[in-house]
Chain A
Amino acid sequence: MKNYVMGVDFGSTTTKTVILDLKGKMVAACVASKGSISAEGVQVSMDGALAEAGISRKEILRAVSTGYGRRMIDIADQSYTEITCHARGAVALFPQARLVIDIGGQDSKVIAVGGDGLVSQFAMNDRCAAGTGKFLEALARAVQVPLEEMGPMALAATEKLTISNMCATFAETEVISLLAEGQSKPSVLGAVHAAIASRTVGLVARVGMREPAVMTGGVAKNKAAVQFIEQALGAKLLLPPDPQIAGALGAALFALDEVTTPGAGVDEEDQADDTMLIARGCATKPCQKPKEVPLVGPMR
């Protein structure tokens, strides 16, 4: 029996997979990081999600892909851009959302969502990685701080410093210069996060600030990034339990649409109910059991 749908977000640095049952309950989610556009990462992510759901690939009725590598996934019946999927995922989690700020590994985007839940405008970063996860990775290396520690350290900044938000390479040079001047690592990292926030504000300005705003993508797991962006925008951000899987969730919801539309052979009682299970992303660790959280509104 094929009783599940899958969404795969094949991003530039990680692959995220979400599996829903035909009632719209999330039964598994898995995040795998195996390097840039990695076929191995896709396999690990999909296998991890399937294992977590306790099902085989044959039980997937429909799959939708998104992300940079969306056209490279042979299991996918359809693909959508990450803009459409992140908006869909974010609105499913927070139906009141009118703005989605997604900062991923390679790009950042701001998506305005109308009251109908549809994308009304979007803006993406230009080709420089400044203001993205790659920017943070590069500067964590420059400061010689593990990536996961840079956020907490930035929150301890005592000096207000400035670095360029225009170019990741120039920013790295500036970081090294600041350290050479004797500035503390926390203050330098504070400046790094302020640069990300400044870049994000520029993108938000291109579509117009709206509230409530949701933040998705891997960078949303960095508390300092969230705090600096909130300060720069003067608004609180809504954060999903696992912001990294919003795109994959959106893709899975599109797959669900395809099988729950009239005539697709799915009983009415199989339609989504008002709760769903949100799994924690498993990153490269073994996937954890799904955590039940209420869905704050009907999925569209």
Chain B
Amino acid sequence: MNAIAQPLKKANRLKTSSLNNKMVNDYWTDVFNAKAEGKLVCWYEGVAINPLMQAADIRWVHGEAWSALLAARNNEQEAQTAAEHRGYMKELCSYARTHIGCGVLAQNRGVEASGSSFSDALGAGKLGERIPAPDMFISAYPYCSTGQQWDEMLFRLFGKKVPIFNISVPWVWGNKPDAIYLGGTEFNEAKQYMVKQLRACTKFIEEQTGKKYNWDSLGEIMSYTKTAGRLRMEAMELCNAKPAPASFFDWTTSLAPVNFIPGGPGIVEYFEKTKAEIVQRIADNEGGIPQEKYRLFWDGIMNWNKIGWLANKFANYDANMVAGRYTHMGFWHEHESIDLNDPLEGMAVNYLVCPINLSAPLMIEQIIKLCKHYEIDGMVLHAARTCRAFSNPQYLIADAVQKRLGLPVAMIEGDMVDESFYKDELVNSRIEAMLESIEARKRVGIAA
């Protein structure tokens, strides 16, 4: 027996992505040096509230971003093991488990790192140990109850001494008679509730820094964030071209500048270059994969251990993952709502409509719009084993796109940062079956 020879095709990743790596490395290096430079450090999870900290010259550690970085660089195991030794079971959110593990490692710091295999641009040593301990927590987690408990666990881990501020992000039910996306009584009330809490959060920050909150700085930071958000959305929307010049996997690697990298000229320049590369690729008829036969939509959170792997896997199937809920329905995607004279309301809007905080009917309408805009042939639903917040509505989403758009779907299982939940052969069967279904429909003239 021999394996049937398969020519290997690789994704044609955006060249500008390499600039992102440098920004990420520079950012984390700055965080590692925070204490030496006398800066306060805030740990937080969930939505991108970092502009609030940046305006007060506080450094920040976003739990998921840090966990994703560890996973993308194959350095997550040590932190996850540390959390498991502390008693946190494997079924707990792997972001939380990894971040809590980093907390455990931070507590253990002082023990000389030895036998480390880690060495990269961020320097040698156990990467998980390197984030500075928190001086404060701000909890602002939409929809996911684990998020709040995660902050509580960290609060306890650090001896219940680190001040904590909670922002309660209401879920957008959308079930009132006047409910529409970004509008209606319920949404407007939720928005005002969020604004009130964000304003209170600035008071909390003032208490920690002992300085008056710098609203001018917040406005300036948000001007960069708003521009970066607009450029990113414009670049992604151009990917309705055929072939699509970039893939969902390119957009996942471009999330850092609109998630946790400091708002400044750098993030604007990054997306200007990204958009320029997209425009050039369209002019050159250059796709994000060598041959685009199928156009797919990714529903669900990213599997950070497998970005390159998945990008190449789908390229090898001639399937371009053109868009996704995670990338296209979050991260300052509602940039137009940001008023630079009073940015809190626009920030609240973006926090409220992040990819997991909409009820299924509102969420599905947005997904349907995206599927139509990008002329999608099929949908892959990545059910992250330890993030049921993302997976909960997936059967409804699958049902809706099948019934309303006639799209075949494939559900695959994996995780955000725990590689052990991903099994390649199980994924292959499901994806290949979906592609066979798309192919069969094309043969008999059934368009999606």
Contacts and interface: CB of A to CB of B under 8 A. Distances in A.
A121 B409 contact: yes
Given A81-B436, A116-B444, A119-B437, A124 B1 contact: no
Best-surrounded residue of B411, B433, B440 (most CB of chain A within 10 A) = B433
17 contacts: A68-B429, A73-B4, A74-B2, A83-B436, A84-B433, A84-B436, A84-B437, A84-B440, A116-B444, A118-B441, A119-B436, A119-B437, A121-B398, A121-B409, A124-B426, A124-B429, A206-B395
Best-surrounded residue of B1, B426, B430 (most CB of chain A within 10 A) = B1
State the 7 A-B residue pairs at the shortest beta-carbon distance, nearest first: A83-B433, A81-B433, A84-B436, A74-B2, A72-B1, A119-B437, A81-B432
B437 A73 contact: no
Contacts of A127: 413, 423, 426
Nearest to B409: A121
Interface string A62-105: 00000011011110100111111000000000000000000000
A277 to B, nearest CB: 27
B429 A120 contact: no
B440 A119 contact: yes
B305 to A, nearest CB: 17
A68 B409 CA distance: 20
Classify chain A: how many residues form its interface, as a range: 20 to 34
Contact of A72 (B3, B436, B437): B3
B425 interface: yes
Given A39-B1, A68-B425, A71-B6, 19 more contacts: A73-B1, A74-B1, A74-B4, A80-B436, A81-B433, A84-B436, A118-B437, A118-B440, A118-B441, A118-B446, A119-B436, A119-B437, A119-B440, A120-B402, A120-B408, A121-B402, A121-B408, A121-B409, A124-B411
Classify chain B: how many residues form its interface, as a range: 20 to 34
Nearest to A205: B395
B429 A82 contact: yes
A123 B426 contact: no
Interface string B1-24: 111101000000000000000000
A276 to B, nearest CB: 22
Nearest to B4: A71
A228 interface: no
Interface string B406-448: 0011010100000000010110011011001100110010100
Contacts of B6: 71
Contacts of A84: 433, 436-437, 440
Nearest to B430: A124
A246 B440 CA distance: 19
Interface in A117-165: 118-124, 126-127
A121 B408 CA distance: 6
Contact of B4 (A76, A116, A118, A206): A76
B446 to A, nearest CB: 8
A68 B399 CA distance: 27
A38 to B, nearest CB: 10
A248 B386 CA distance: 36
Contact of B413 (A42, A81, A126): A126
